[in-house]
């Protein structure tokens, strides 16, 4: 692995919309941490909002900071604690290729104890052991990151670092489809054909959905259609919900996976889901959304919130490695880390059909 340098290049956020490439100290792994060399990191939909300072005092809690959480790389050093365990040291030996995960629960609260570590009750309290890499703890827009071993998963042979960097989107989508209990024969609707929507489509098909309709527009919708979704272009049809009802004999779909987080998409999702159906909420609205609670109550809709990707890393990577799920057409652009600004603009403006944009530190 060669020698680990004392300093590394990192994109340092100094304030809202203020960032620069800096030389900063390489962090040291302690406790249950490994030090990893970051080889690929994808821009998350949340990142531009963090850069713009849309979550003051929360993400990040303070400046300067390093964000970014959708990464893959290789283990270059283990903490002394980890080296003490032969089994752990063997599984995460120096040179092991891994994909990272943003959340690490405190491990001691009720939710962590029952496996729901992305809704850790000690969220943001780093002293409790909780970490949210790239949000409340150091992220991966850098050449190195320290991460708990709990938050890295070995990459199966045959998967590239670029594919590993898709794990966050893929894992969120898998968690959502699992929350929605999509099963053989189900009719499924997805609103929002971004990366999470696109992976949600693939997992729904892999779960046996009889069809998956997708409401969206532009190149992203075209990509979903290319993969086999029934595309409903809301710029071209008068009423996307009517199209969904047509497909289901007027009843509505068994499960809707909402991946846009907008008022319009959430309205469609509620109206297009059958009575007694499931509504999976992947989209994260940044403004207040009005919902017809009375209508939803009388329809006995199951509303299922989704927070990140708990316990989905290993199956999501295995499904990628088996070919059941592909990142083709989802990962569209790659830049070196020093072109962070260019990469961010490409992602935000969806230049040239950009969906997932990867940086190589
Ligand atoms: Zn993400
Ligand atoms: Zn916890």
- 151 and 18 part of one domain: yes
State the distance from the centre of ligand 2 to the C-alpha of 331, rounded, in angstroms: 32
CATH number of the domain that residue 57 is part of: 3.90.180.10
State the distance from the centre of ligand 2 to the C-alpha of 145, rounded, in angstroms: 22
Q: According to the model, what pLDDT value does residue 131 have?
A: 98
Tell me the whole-structure pTM to 2 decimals: 0.96
Q: How many domains does the chain have?
A: 2
Residue 206: which H helix or E strand, with range?
A: helix 195-206
- 34 and 153 part of one domain: yes
- 236 and 335 part of one domain: no
Q: According to the model, what pLDDT value does residue 286 have?
A: 82
Q: Are 290 and 263 in contact (CB under 8 A)?
A: yes
Q: According to the model, what pLDDT value does residue 351 have?
A: 95
Q: According to the model, what pLDDT value does residue 287 have?
A: 87
- 341 and 221 part of one domain: no
Q: According to the model, what pLDDT value does residue 346 have?
A: 98
CATH number of the domain that residue 273 is part of: 3.40.50.720
Walk along the chain (361 residues) in steps of 10 and give the mean pLDDT of each run. 87 98 98 98 96 95 98 98 96 97 98 98 97 98 98 97 98 98 98 97 97 96 96 97 98 98 97 98 92 96 98 98 95 97 97 96 97
Q: For residues 263 and 290, what is the distance between their CA atoms, to the nearest angstrom?
A: 7
- 104 and 248 part of one domain: no
- 13 and 160 part of one domain: yes
Q: Where in the sequence is the domain holding 130, given as residue range(s)?
A: 7-166+327-360
- 126 and 196 part of one domain: no
- 115 and 254 part of one domain: no
Q: According to the model, what pLDDT value does residue 3 have?
A: 86
- 176 and 162 part of one domain: no
Q: For residues 68 and 102, what is the distance between their CA atoms, to the nearest angstrom?
A: 9
Ligand nearest to the CA of 111: 2
Instruction: Specify the pairing of strand 302-305 against strand 331-336.
Output: unpaired
- 67 and 154 part of one domain: yes
Omega of the bond prior to 60 within 30 degrees of 0, cis? yes
- 101 and 243 part of one domain: no
Q: Is residue 312 part of a domain?
A: no
For ligand 2, a single-atom ion, which residues have Cβ within 5 Å? 105-106, 109, 112, 120, 122
**202 φ, ψ (degrees, to nearest 5):** -65, -40
Q: For residues 130 and 214, what is the distance between their CA atoms, to the nearest angstrom?
A: 36
- 162 and 177 part of one domain: no
């Amino acid at each position: 692995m060669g020698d680990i340098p004392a300093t590394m290049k990192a994109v340092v956020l100094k304030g809202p919309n203020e960032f620069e490439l800096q030389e900063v100290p390489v962090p040291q792994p302690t406790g249950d941490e490994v030090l990893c060399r970051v080889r690929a990191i994808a821009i998350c939909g949340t990142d531009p909002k963090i850069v713009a300072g849309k979550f003051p005092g929360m993400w990040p809690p303070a400046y300067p900071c390093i964000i970014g959480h959708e990464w893959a790389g290789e283990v270059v050093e283990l903490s002394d604690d980890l080296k003490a365990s032969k089994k752990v040291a063997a599984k995460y030996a120096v040179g092991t290729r891994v994909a990272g995960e943003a959340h690490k629960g405190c491990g001691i609260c009720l939710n962590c104890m029952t496996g729901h570590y992305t809704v850790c009750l000690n969220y943001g309290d780093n002293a409790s052991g909780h970490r949210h890499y790239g949000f409340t703890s150091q992220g991966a827009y850098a050449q190195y990151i320290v991460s708990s071993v709990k938050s890295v998963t070995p990459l199966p042979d045959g998967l590239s670092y670029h594919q590993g960097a898709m794990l966050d989107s893929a894992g969120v989508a898998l968690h959502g489809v699992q929350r929605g209990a999509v099963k053989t024969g189900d009719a499924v609707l997805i609103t929002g054909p971004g990366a999470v929507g696109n992976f949600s489509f693939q997992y729904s098909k892999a779960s046996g959905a009889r069809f998956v309709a997708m409401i969206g527009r532009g190149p992203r919708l075209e990509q979903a259609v290319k993969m086999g979704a029934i595309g409903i272009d809301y710029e071209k049809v008068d009423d996307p919900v009517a199209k969904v009802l047509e497909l289901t004999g007027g009843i509505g779909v068994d499960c809707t996976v909402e991946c846009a987080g907008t008022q319009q998409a959430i309205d469609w999702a509620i109206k297009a889901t059958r009575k007694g159906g499931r509504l999976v909420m992947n989209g994260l609205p940044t403004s207040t959304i009005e919902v017809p609670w009375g209508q939803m109550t009388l329809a006995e809709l199951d509303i299922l919130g989704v927070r990140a990707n708990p316990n989905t890393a290993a199956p999501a990577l295995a499904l990628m490695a088996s070919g059941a799920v592909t990142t083709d057409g989802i990962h569209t652009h790659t830049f070196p880390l020093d072109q962070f600004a260019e990469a961010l603009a490409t992602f935000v403006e969806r230049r040239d059909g950009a969906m997932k944009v990867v940086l190589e530190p």
